[in-house]
Amino acid sequence: MDRQAVMEQGLTQPLVAPSLSPAARRRQLKEKAIAGFITLMAFTGIAALILIIIFVAKEALALFTEAEARHEASLSKMFLPQEVPPGRPPFRWQPVSRIPKVSMIPLFVGTLKTTAVSMLVAVPMGVFGALFAAEFAPRRLRELLKPVIELLAGIPSVVLGFFALMVMSTVIKDVFAFDRPLNAMVAGLGLALAIVPVIFTVSEDALTAVPRSYREASLALGATPWETAWKVVLPAAAPGILAACVLGFGRAIGETMIVLMASGNADVISWSLGDSARSLSATIAAEMGEVVVGSPHYSLLFFIGVQLFLFTFVLNLLASTWTRRVVRKLTGGAA
């Protein structure tokens, strides 16, 4: 048999995989089990989220499928002005009165007021505090400052609400000469205390992740440290800072106890920060414990939960789109 025939015969013979030792087999099985457990936990979290959404949507669907619920809480009654006697507001939230009034407009106004106040206070504090910690603070001060601010995230919201109710309400009423101690400003400032740690932590991580070469190039071109931080580092970390603001907004719009304790819970349509307010999340917390299961009021509260979900979902979608555009622009891609 010539050499070529021997080679062809060798190529046609099946390859035999090397046998694994018992220790290698056990290690391989262990790795597969760990990977399967991690995958199961990931899909369990996704399945739990989907089931929650389905449950909330199913309970709210009665507003559109049952005749009694449609009569008591139709879309026109929730979002359009109603015919009322002269001198009374056309938008009221009184779902348990003799003639139920289920206008969502006072709840939207109250939610927007408290959330806007909290974001106007927390975003500058969180972002500029993170910029100081990442760019200008000495190493020892940074190691002290970051844990102290992050410690605020561990304070229960009911404690922050109690602080806003007992301390901040009196101080703000005296400083701004408000008529009511519990108002939208007190609730918004209480919310700001809750979301500053979130914005600070995520923003500081985004600023720290900016490559050092960006700073060195800016300083080499003659820019001052402040110009480098403001015109180079901050724009480069814009996607992460936006994510921090979105997380803070989601925490603020969904916060319950602080708004429930410090806002006054009055369904008033007023853009004055000195007036009481009533938010969507606080309405669910205040009324869900006493509502009759299966009633139109019950479905209405779940419908409020659907609206909160839609708000946060749309905001995250818009923020994600904007973030991708910023990243493409920073990396030289098409906007």
pLDDT in tens, 83-92: 777 777 788 8
Residue 264: Cβ within 10 Å count: 20
Could you tell me if 96 and 170 are in contact, meaning their C-beta atoms sit under 8 angstroms apart? Answer: no
CA distance 244 to 242: 5
Question: How much is the mean pLDDT over the chain?
Answer: 85
CA distance 53 to 136: 44
Dihedral angle over CA of 110, 251, 248, 323, nearest 10: -100
pLDDT at 335: 45
270 forms beta bridges with none
Q: CA 143, 146, 149: angle at the middle one, nearest 5?
A: 145
**What percent of the chain is predicted at pLDDT more than 70?**
92
Torsion sign (Cα): 69, 71, 75, 78: negative
> What is the helix (H) or strand (E) element at residue 168, kind and residue range?
none
pLDDT in tens, 96-131: 878 888 888 999 999 999 999 999 999 999 999 999
Residues near 332 by beta carbon (within 8 Å), at least 6 away in sequence: none
pLDDT in tens, 221-279: 888 989 999 989 998 898 889 889 988 888 888 888 899 999 888 888 888 888 889 99
pLDDT in tens, 128-183: 999 999 888 888 888 888 888 888 888 888 999 999 999 999 999 988 888 889 99
CA distance 313 to 240: 18
Residue 165: Cβ within 10 Å count: 20
CA distance 252 to 263: 13
State the pTM of this model: 0.81
Residues near 100 by beta carbon (within 8 Å), at least 6 away in sequence: 72, 73, 94, 296, 297
Burial of 5 (0-12, 13-18, 19+ CB in 10 A): exposed
Number of H helices, E strands in the chain: 17, 2
